[in-house]
Structure 1
């Protein structure tokens, strides 16, 4: 019910505050989910701020120490809880606060379960597969950076990158990195940088925070946007122990924003040292190869065949002369032996030849058929015969029968 008031009859402060207290009391007790910040214990009372996990909205809460200590595990700064609250309006101070009647820690287990289910769905679609990961360019011309406004992550990336390679260029997109607008702004910045042909790699950087602070970087819409990028994306969210889903879909994960700068931009000093090292290594390799070839050439030149080629030719000529003389002696000796053998055979043939017997006064008696007559008893009167002498042949006929010869 509205209070009746006018400039002539204003309402006292106490009346207004009492009305406000009555309106607030109508809300009754309510269960509220939020994140604890600025927790302080003073005597028997605990003071804290309950912040909305998405919007930048918070409220003051008080509770008794017994209520706080009865919660297991005991809440700490950054914990996500569900509280049974009773709204209170303090008329004396004109301030509003909630009184916690019960505190139930929730969030971490439930959030982790939701993230795990989403991770399994995205992994089944192949968004985290290693073969989808793209290799970062060795020296990017322009690096896209998505970070919070005036954040330490931006300073870490820019300073470390320019310290490593002073000529590197950055296209920085500042946006909300936590809260209800974070997903939309980060996604829009990602699409803008991905559409820029000059940008060779994109870094999404944010400092550390609680699990709730990093929830936007596990959002399904943002994860799918990163998977659809044509430009390689580096995730540098939080610290080493933080692992949002963005780390799994990104082409490269950096443990911190500083680590992202080191992985994306090469160190000019290290590269110069590597160039000098490779050049020295190449010089030693070529020098060693030339030294081995020179040693081989010197060894070849020192061999007798190359040191004095004529000597080898002369030695071969002497061998040819010796072989030729040896062949001549062998052939001459063979001819002499053959001549002697021929003379011996000829003498033997002469000694055994019937002609030699004929020369001593003998004759060979043959029939006209050529048959040799060896015994006189084989002849009959009237048989024609041929008498062969050493110089001629004579034909005759047997007139008388053969007579026995006493010495036959």
Structure 2
């Protein structure tokens, strides 16, 4: 009779499970339960369950950092990873490499989660919105130097209000470094008091293209800005977190440029109208006083002073 140690049994089970290629890269669907987020290490520990069974799972920080949303208790998810044995404890579990919500996209869920969080903190409240100055002398523009947005903004600003100076801060508007560059640009504009109003944005794109404008750090930088911010991200149907937290939302970069400055021709027309009204008011005042003077001059005492003096003499 051969007697095995506990370690030998666990090692044997480990070799059986991990030696099976079918357990190395698989997908699983289930509901998250017993969820624990180790904030210091960044590891996520939880169980996946369905109507009949429970499977322990772990997602290490290296994989968890790539998540676009926040997993929560009771959320249904689809995970990809491998089944392996934790030999010292004699437990097998699912090591998760990727996770996505079951039934809704990760980006959409992340957007809704952040939107709900920031709205609860009051970052979207109207009482925090700063007014856009009516006649800005300097317009800060934060966008890509190679996109069509910057050229559209320049053309419209130069046509509508050429007296304004454009302070351009080129940044990436998509990719891993885009959110950090956008945030730094907003902070730099404020630190140097570089503009009277800031336009931040880009042209339209897919949900993946607009991820940088749904960044929490950028949203907080825009909220903290002392300079009013106009958000111009995408087309009319695209909304981002940056749109909600900004002082004014424009559907396109071109529309943002129109909202940022007055129209020179409209100002000329308004000035001409005011001039005409002023001249008319002055002329009407002069006519009224001329009539008063004529009425006084036609009085008997002025037309025939002796008739008034004789009885009194």
Q: Which residue of 1 aligns with 2:290?
A: 294
Q: Distance in 1 between matches of 2:306 and 2:274?
A: 48
Cα deviation, residue 235, structure 1: 1.1
Cα deviation, residue 115, structure 1: 3.7
- Report whether the alignment pairs 1:200 with 2:196: yes
Q: Distance in 2 between matches of 1:110 and 1:291?
A: 72
SS in structure 2 opposite 1:145? strand
Q: Tell me the alpha carbon deviations over residues 84-111 of structure 1, each in whole angstroms, 9 at most, x when there is no partner.
A: 999xxxxxxxxxxxxxxxx964127634
Q: How does 1:58-207 map to 2 (within 5 A)?
A: 105-107=103-105, 110-111=109-110, 113-123=112-122, 127-207=123-203
From 230, 237, 246, the equivalent of 2:233 is 237
Q: How does 1:2-401 map to 2 (within 5 A)?
A: 27-30=24-27, 105-107=103-105, 110-111=109-110, 113-123=112-122, 127-314=123-310, 317=312
Q: Is the 8 A contact 2:167 2:194 kept in 1?
A: no
Q: Is the 8 A contact 1:235 1:254 kept in 2?
A: yes
Aligned length: 228
CA, structure 1 residues 290+268, in 2 after alignment: closer, same or farther (shift >3 Å)? same
Q: Which residue of 2 aligns with 1:324?
A: none
Q: Distance in 2 between matches of 1:302 and 1:129?
A: 68
Q: Distance in 2 between matches of 1:28 and 1:128?
A: 43
SS in structure 1 opposite 2:196? strand
Q: Is the 8 A contact 2:124 2:245 kept in 1?
A: yes
Q: Distance in 1 between matches of 2:228 and 2:112?
A: 29
Cα deviation, residue 170, structure 1: 1.9
Q: Distance in 2 between matches of 1:207 and 1:279?
A: 41
SS in structure 2 opposite 1:199? coil
Unaligned runs of 5+ in 1: 1-23, 33-53, 56-81, 87-102, 319-408
Q: Distance in 2 between matches of 1:187 and 1:256?
A: 20
Q: Distance in 2 between matches of 1:224 and 1:310?
A: 87
Q: Distance in 2 between matches of 1:104 and 1:135?
A: 42
Q: Tell me the alpha carbon deviations over residues 240-279 of structure 1, each in whole angstroms, 9 at most, x when there is no partner.
A: 3333232232222222111111121222222222222211
Q: Distance in 1 between matches of 2:250 and 2:176?
A: 25
Q: Which residue of 2 aligns with 1:95?
A: none
Give the RMSD, CA atoms, in angstroms: 3.2
Cα deviation, residue 25, structure 1: 8.0
Q: Which has the higher contact order (CA 8 A, sep 6+)?
A: 2
Q: Tell me the alpha carbon deviations over residues 317-353 of structure 1, each in whole angstroms, 9 at most, x when there is no partner.
A: 59xxxxxxxxxxxxxxxxxxxxxxxxxxxxxxxxxxx
SS in structure 2 opposite 1:247? helix
Q: Is the 8 A contact 2:111 2:241 kept in 1?
A: no
Q: Which residue of 2 aligns with 1:334?
A: none
Q: Which has the larger radius of gyration?
A: 1
Q: Distance in 1 between matches of 2:281 and 2:312?
A: 46
TM-score computed with the length of structure 1 as normaliser: 0.49
SS in structure 2 opposite 1:236? strand
Q: Is the 8 A contact 1:154 1:205 kept in 2?
A: no
Unaligned runs of 5+ in 2: 1-20, 30-64, 67-76, 82-100
Q: Distance in 2 between matches of 1:266 and 1:31?
A: 57
Q: Distance in 2 between matches of 1:83 and 1:154?
A: 40
SS in structure 1 opposite 2:168? strand
Q: Distance in 1 between matches of 2:125 and 2:112?
A: 22
Q: Is the 8 A contact 2:136 2:164 kept in 1?
A: yes
Cα deviation, residue 188, structure 1: 1.0
Q: Tell me the alpha carbon deviations over residues 90-139 of structure 1, each in whole angstroms, 9 at most, x when there is no partner.
A: xxxxxxxxxxxxx964127634541442233231xxx3343433333333
Q: Is the 8 A contact 1:147 1:153 kept in 2?
A: yes
Q: Distance in 2 between matches of 1:184 and 1:31?
A: 34
Q: Is the 8 A contact 2:183 2:218 kept in 1?
A: yes
